[in-house]
Structure 1
Amino acid sequence: MVLSAMCLLFAGTWMVIPAVAADQAPADDKVALVNGTAISRAQFNQGVSRMSKPQPGQEQPEAKDQLKQVQAQALDALIRNLLLYQASQKAGVKIEDKAIDEQIGALKQRFPSEEEFNQALAQVPATVETLRQQIREQMAIRQYIDKEFADKAIVSETEAKAYYDEHPEYFKAPAQVKASHILAKVEEQNNADQKAAALDKIKKAQKRLEGGDDFATVAKEMSDCPSSSKGGELGYFSRGQMAKPFEDAAFAMKPGETSGIVETQFGYHLIRVEEQKPEGKVELAQAQPKIEQYLKRQKLMELVNKQVSELEKTAKIEKFLD
């Protein structure tokens, strides 16, 4: 829990501890040199540790050949990252201290106290100075990529439509219901008196509806849900967004129908279904912005990978792993 916010900062990059000039790193403490700049053993171990962490459904790599593969991938990521940072410096990208201060300030706000921030930093492990350099390098690389490649990663409407047509499975729209409700809230489920009072309240609301009172009016006057100010209106929702007894009742009704009393962990409800939308397909116009964003990111990645390959051709890279 303490580390979660700090780990977010380092997501997507392996250079947790900044690279140092070759003459500043002990000979046995570096795993590679990139144009004279050392990648330290500490950096490398961090990268291997992060890449070894299994994803959901995956097993921890234990076999020797698996470990070597992870080590090679971690070192390659570090080298590529360092090449990009060096390219950003050659291109004249400068990061102001104020921008770094703002990033650190935003990160600190995720922690209850300065002490917990420092504890998380120590567990990474990192120091404030290495964190500052890490942020500087990340920001420099981002600015370099934006400056050099963002304008070249262009996605046409034709490409977006082709992706939409070729991947219908990504653009399914689930069935939806538009409903309103009246809630008699139960704060403590194991409090029999509270439940009895809430049940009595919802029965009174139900009696008013059966007597012809308008649903929205009763909701405004009797519902304990914040939606009462809108006559109980909840808008559209699909399965998985509401408590199961609530959604089961809502999806079983037709537009214009009002449910009987439905109990959930929140209390007792009366539900009125206004409209239904069957399962369908997201329209291209709605999906296009996200498609273009995804394809642009893919193109940008291809351009960056191509640039790194060019940088590798002229770079002096020495590896010292066994």
Structure 2
Amino acid sequence: MIEQRHRTQSWTRRTAGGFVFIACAGLPLGLVTERAGAATKAEALFPDDVVAKTKAFEIKQSQVDQAFIAFKLSLAARQQTIPENQRVDIESNLLNRLVVTQILLGKATGDDKTRARETSDKLIDKAIKSFPSEERFVEQLRGTGMTREQFAKQVIEQATCEMVIERELKGNITVSDSEVKKFFDENPARFEEPERVRASHILFSTLDLETKQPLSAEEKKVKETLAGQVRQRALNGEDFSALVREYSEDPGAKNNAGEYTFARGQMVKPFETAAFSLQTNQVSDVVESPFGYHIIKLTEKIPSKKLDLDAVKTNIREGLIQRDLQQQLPGYFQKLMKAADVEFPGRKKSP
């Protein structure tokens, strides 16, 4: 709850972060696919033209429209917007990516689908657990225009696309030990683990736990007074973890006893400043943040250190493979579309 980045941003990154290609960053494919065949009353009044087709599938304008809406909703959830005058270019890009997604899904083997299901189940479970409750997770999905079922379908489709790409492309990419060491030697700053602290905290939330709206001034004063009283009990030697269990309103406290290990820049500023100023086993003053009032106890200071090559070589190798893969993807997708003999009725051909 005290993380600097909002959960509405972080859960989408965690869910889709493992995929090398998604139909569009932030685009809820499950939503698009789910709605694709259902004509609304407005659609019944206007022709739903085919805008891309192969021997295996067709994509209609309504699907592109839904993709555009879903894309806008996804951006809105991250407090971002797109200029309306970019709609034509964005729709063209979305159409290309919808086509590639359908081609990839059509190339999936039984093994691809099995592995995709296993991966998607883990990702969905992780996404749910990143929220205080399953109800809050569903509420967040609703804000982006998706049901839980549509979200699950989206993740499965994305995982399936990744498995096809991994089988057809990623498996052919190799990175030598010398390339790994060269990257390690040329990027020393990337492999320095910054100073961190391990600290526990008790949160007295100044946001309504259900609506997330700010409490009244009177209610905040009650929370501040209670925080001061509990801090005094901690100073008097009462078990801090017991006080966490009794008083903390941080949803994460039930899983981690209110304890976090973090570097600078990972928590809201007032919390970070207070935590890094403490000595080991010292209890802070009452600290106010946008989330409420905190009492912090520092458990450990972890000094910065340079990581050994052996500790990071696996991650470096995977990162270099992903870099090479991203460079190869545009050409790979062009080959897929050419092999599928994709037609775009109504699209002007390049001179």
TM-score range, shorter chain: 0.5 to 0.7
**Matched position secondary structure for 2:22:** coil
Structure-2 separation of matches of 1:135 and 1:270: 39
Using the TM superposition, give the Cα deviation of residue 282 of structure 1 relative to its aligned residue in structure 2, in angstroms.
4.0
**Matched position secondary structure for 1:158:** helix
Q: Provide the residue aligned with 2:236 in structure 1.
A: 204
1:1-322 matches, within 5 Å, as 12-13=22-23, 16-17=32-33, 28-35=48-55, 37-51=57-71, 54=75, 59-63=81-85, 66-88=86-108, 95=113, 112=135, 123-124=145-146, 138=158, 140-177=160-197, 190-191=221-222, 194=226, 197-198=229-230, 200-205=232-237, 224-225=243-244, 237-240=262-265, 248=273, 251-252=276-277, 259=282, 262-264=285-287, 275=301, 277-278=303-304, 281-321=306-346
Q: Provide the residue aligned with 2:250 in structure 1.
A: none
Using the TM superposition, give the Cα deviation of residue 38 of structure 1 relative to its aligned residue in structure 2, in angstroms.
0.9
* Unmatched 5+ stretches in structure 1: 21-25, 206-218, 227-231
Structure-1 separation of matches of 2:202 and 2:64: 57
**Contact 1:177-1:276 at 8 Å conserved across structures:** yes
Structure-2 separation of matches of 1:319 and 1:308: 16
Partner letter of residue 233 of structure 2?
K
1:207-260 deviation per Cα after TM superposition (whole angstroms, max 9, x unaligned)? xxxxxxxxxxxx75997347xxxxx9x796433567766754664467xx7758
Distance 1:262 1:147, change over 3 A: same
Distance 1:43 1:277, change over 3 A: same
Q: Which has the larger radius of gyration?
A: 1
Using the TM superposition, give the Cα deviation of residue 321 of structure 1 relative to its aligned residue in structure 2, in angstroms.
3.7
Partner letter of residue 168 of structure 2?
E
**Contact 1:32-1:40 at 8 Å conserved across structures:** yes
Distance 1:189 1:37, change over 3 A: closer
Distance 1:193 1:314, change over 3 A: closer
Distance 1:189 1:72, change over 3 A: closer
Structure-1 separation of matches of 2:340 and 2:263: 54
Once structures 1 and 2 are overlaid, which stretch shifts more, 6-15 or 136-145? Answer: 6-15
**Contact 1:153-1:299 at 8 Å conserved across structures:** yes
Figure out how many residues of one structure are paired with residues of the other and give that number: 276
Partner letter of residue 277 of structure 1?
P
TM-score, structure 1 normalization: 0.59
* Unmatched 5+ stretches in structure 2: 1-7, 38-45, 129-133, 206-218, 246-256
**Matched position secondary structure for 2:314:** helix
**Contact 1:33-1:318 at 8 Å conserved across structures:** yes
Using the TM superposition, give the Cα deviation of residue 33 of structure 1 relative to its aligned residue in structure 2, in angstroms.
1.1
